[in-house]
């Protein structure tokens, strides 16, 4: 989301400046200066403070991640990791190729999960290990993130919605439940707005996690200030990130090593965050292209899907975090209230990444809703059989399958 992305970019730049200062101090210490004493003897003098200060800054620039994680997050009892399973590529919109994995149980109505911006499908590690024991799961990488390519077209929410539709069509012969976090929830709302017939025919239920129905700058903290800065400051900064993408990538990795990126990503968590959760999300935001992330943020600024479910009878569950500063709870309440089939559930003491820090509560809500949907029409649950997704070498991109 833009708030965290802006903080990460600023702190990444600061981290680069500190690294440059470390290099300069160490070089100036080595260079020293020539001094002539009272009798004309020439000798080389070095200031030791430059050595110690430069060495400390260099150590922080390379190893600061560890003390930052220790200070900002709790120890882990169940670490999350960016794990992968065998998958395949599906042809998306505008020349994109979407990486899709099928996980979990073999039967039952599939849950199709769409991750938040800057992340990838490995963020569903907890979901895969918990809900995967009793549910069929389909996870995919949004265009330009993870293993998915964005193609030559411009990034947009309608493009993501078409991609989600093709993912569903390529892996299942029956109805599904769509689950989306943050921009994943925005993608589902775009699908409902632009392709209502598909939602009626193929989607048995929708679960939205910590998301919004409009430009996210309007539904996060400091929204009056951020919306005022959108045109004169924030959007030009996003364009600058695209133009200076190589430098932005260096700054991103420097921010990850120094821990400054972890400080920025900590804004999306509440008090329950663990070290692996914070490191996992920060790693994904670091290794995904800064230019792609900047383009996606700009796309969100010009997006709106208010009342996308108003004319649909699809059951809807919206989960929000009471402490969410990135998509405030009132946005989730508004989405749920827009349709008679909507229901809002708020989780105490969690922020935007609540589905990680209180995975137990989110999973319980998702499982209960999925059981309700399946029980409403048992025949549809039996039809939710997935087509086999061929395993592929993760380092080799095959030709996209024929979706016709």
Q: Give tens-digit pLDDT for 166-192.
A: 999 998 878 999 999 999 999 999 999
Do 127 and 157 touch, CB atoms closer than 8 A?
Answer: no
Backbone φ and ψ of 212, nearest 5°? -135, 170
Does the pLDDT at position 33 exceed 50?
yes
390: number of Cβ within 10 Å: 11
Domain count, the chain: 1
* pTM of the complete model: 0.90
Do 75 and 118 touch, CB atoms closer than 8 A?
Answer: no
Region 254-259: mean pLDDT is 96
Instruction: Retrieve residue 193's tokens.
Output: 């707005």
**216 within domain boundaries:** yes
**49 within domain boundaries:** no
What pLDDT band is residue 249 in, cutting at 50, 70 and 90?
Answer: very high
What pLDDT band is residue 159 in, cutting at 50, 70 and 90?
Answer: very high
Does the pLDDT at position 38 exceed 50?
yes
Kindly report the CA angle at 323 between 254 and 228, in degrees rounded to 5? 70
What pLDDT band is residue 399 in, cutting at 50, 70 and 90?
Answer: very low
What pLDDT band is residue 377 in, cutting at 50, 70 and 90?
Answer: low
Do 250 and 20 touch, CB atoms closer than 8 A?
Answer: no
**342 within domain boundaries:** yes
CA distance 345 to 292: 32
**211 within domain boundaries:** yes
**20 within domain boundaries:** no
Query: Which residues constitute the domain of residue 319?
Result: 87-383
What pLDDT band is residue 219 in, cutting at 50, 70 and 90?
Answer: very high
42: number of Cβ within 10 Å: 8
**42 within domain boundaries:** no
Does the pLDDT at position 329 exceed 80?
yes
CA distance 146 to 148: 6
**6 within domain boundaries:** no
Q: Is 247 exposed, middle or buried (0-12, 13-18, 19+ CB in 10 A)?
A: middle
User: Pick the residue with more confidence: 32 or 3?
Assistant: 32
**Would you state the pLDDT for residue 385?**
41
**Would you state the pLDDT for residue 32?**
87
Region 150-163: mean pLDDT is 94
How would you classify the pairing of strands 342-347 and 316-321?
Answer: parallel
Does the pLDDT at position 396 exceed 70?
no
Mean pLDDT of the chain: 91
How would you classify the pairing of strands 136-140 and 33-36?
Answer: unpaired
Do 193 and 307 touch, CB atoms closer than 8 A?
Answer: no
Those residues whose C-beta lies under 8 Å from the C-beta of residue 217, and which sit 6 or more positions away, are: 2, 223, 226, 227, 230, 234, 301
- Can you name the residues that pair with 209 across neighbouring β-strands? 181, 319
**CATH code: domain of residue 270:** 3.40.50.1820
**Would you state the pLDDT for residue 395?**
46
**Would you state the pLDDT for residue 376?**
84
**78 within domain boundaries:** no
First to last CA, the chain: 35
Does the pLDDT at position 35 exceed 90?
no
**Would you state the pLDDT for residue 45?**
84
**Would you state the pLDDT for residue 34?**
75
Does the pLDDT at position 3 exceed 90?
no
Instruction: Retrieve residue 290's tokens.
Output: 């800064």
**Would you state the pLDDT for residue 378?**
52
Determine which of 9-13, 278-282, 399-403 has the lowest per-residue pLDDT on average: 399-403
Does the pLDDT at position 216 exceed 90?
yes
């Amino acid at each position: 989301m833009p708030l965290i992305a802006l903080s990460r970019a600023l702190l990444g730049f600061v981290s680069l400046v500190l690294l440059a200062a470390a290099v300069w101090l160490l070089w100036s210490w080595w260079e020293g200066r020539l001094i002539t004493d009272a009798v004309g003897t020439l000798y080389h003098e070095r200031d030791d403070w430059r050595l110690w200060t430069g060495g400390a800054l260099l150590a922080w620039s390379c190893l600061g991640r560890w003390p930052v994680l220790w200070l900002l997050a709790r120890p882990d009892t169940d670490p999350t990791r960016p794990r992968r399973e065998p998958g395949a590529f599906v042809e998306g919109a505008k020349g994109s190729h979407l990486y899709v994995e099928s996980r979990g149980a073999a039967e039952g109505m599939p849950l199709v999960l769409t991750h938040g911006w800057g992340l990838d499908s490995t963020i569903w590690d907890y979901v895969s290990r918990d809900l995967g024991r009793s549910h069929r799961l389909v996870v995919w990488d949004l265009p330009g993130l993870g293993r998915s390519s964005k193609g030559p077209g411009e990034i947009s929410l309608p493009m993501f919605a078409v991609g989600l539709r093709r993912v569903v069509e390529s892996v299942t012969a029956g109805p599904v439940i769509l689950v989306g976090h943050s921009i994943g929830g925005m993608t589902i709302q775009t699908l409902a707005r632009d392709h209502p017939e598909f939602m009626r025919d193929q989607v048995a239920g929708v679960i939205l996690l910590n998301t919004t129905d409009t430009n996210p700058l309007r539904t996060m903290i400091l929204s009056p200030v951020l919306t005022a800065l959108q045109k004169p400051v924030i959007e030009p900064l996003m364009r600058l990130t695209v133009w200076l993408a190589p430098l932005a990538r260096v700054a991103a990795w420097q921010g990850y090593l120094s821990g400054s990126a972890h400080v920025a990503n900590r804004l999306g968590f509440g008090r329950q965050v663990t070290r692996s959760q914070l490191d996992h999300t920060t790693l994904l935001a670091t290794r995904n292209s800064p230019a792609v992330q900047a383009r996606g943020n700009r796309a969100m600024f010009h997006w709106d899907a208010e009342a996308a479910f108003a004319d649909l009878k699809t059951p809807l569950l919206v989960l929000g975090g009471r402490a969410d500063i990135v998509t405030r709870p009132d946005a989730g309440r508004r989405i749920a209230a827009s349709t008679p089939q909507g229901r809002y559930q708020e989780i105490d003491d969690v922020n935007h990444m609540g589905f990680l820090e209180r995975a137990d509560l989110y999973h319980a809500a998702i499982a209960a809703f999925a059981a309700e949907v399946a029980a409403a029409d048992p025949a549809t649950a039996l039809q939710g059989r997935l087509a086999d997704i061929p395993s592929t070498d993760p380092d080799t991109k095959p030709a996209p399958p024929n979706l016709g």
